[in-house]
Amino acid sequence: MMTNDARRKIEGGIFLVLFCLTIPAANWMIGHVGTFCVPNGPCVLPVAPGLMAPSGVLMIGAALVLRDLVQRRLGVEYGLAAIVAGAALSAGLAPPSLVIASATAFLLSEAADFAVYTPLARRRLVLAVLASSTIGLVVDSFVFLWLAFGSLDFLGGQIVGKAWMVLLSVPLVAYLRRRDLRLGLNPA
């Protein structure tokens, strides 16, 4: 039978790998997945009636939640390391014209997520994930659009697209919280 510490470390490793995979996935999706691909621009998809967003926003919404789960399972140090690694991956994989916008938005949004998540996580996990991810996705959307394009024209679509992924994660986060309590699995 697996010990709680081993379970925590294995799950944390899985969340860390998934977190790191969201960055190349977002970069790939933005050029290949969508209902319409702008020539020399992003592929977009509908995120709400009349609202479009670049397809990569879905992965960034997932990244915000996964970073929270990395921190919950492996600790604050791993959460901070994931932010730095994610920003480096983002800079390394972004198209040359978007490197600064991509890396800066990722770094600032994940740092904002960390700042909100950390004090809330022990007592109110689902609220911590929702609140921190919401702050993170707004920061990411605003910073990326402003630095990349000098415009906030697609802010609504960016926010809604990321929010969908956060909302879709709530059942998993709630399940993990209930299971952790049942098993006596303390966060890192």
CA–CA separation, 173 and 52 (whole Å):
27
The model's pLDDT over 22-32, given as tens digits with 9 standing for 90+, comes to: 988 988 898 89
The model's pLDDT over 33-69, given as tens digits with 9 standing for 90+, comes to: 999 988 877 899 999 999 999 999 999 999 999 999 9
CB atoms within 10 A of CB 137: 26
pLDDT category at 97 given cuts 50, 70, 90 is confident
Token pair listed for 81: 């390391």
pLDDT category at 162 given cuts 50, 70, 90 is very high
CA–CA separation, 87 and 150 (whole Å):
21
- Cα 93 to chain centroid, rounded: 16
Q: Quick one: 88 exposed, middle or buried, by C-beta within 10 A (0-12, 13-18, 19+)?
A: middle
Q: Quick one: 120 exposed, middle or buried, by C-beta within 10 A (0-12, 13-18, 19+)?
A: middle
Domains (range + CATH), the chain: 4-180 (1.10.1760)
Residues in contact with 93: Cβ distance below 8 Å, sequence separation at least 6, in sequence order: 23, 24, 27
**pTM for the structure as a whole:** 0.91
Q: Phi then psi for 37, rounded to 5 degrees?
A: -115, 120
Token pair listed for 95: 């198209």
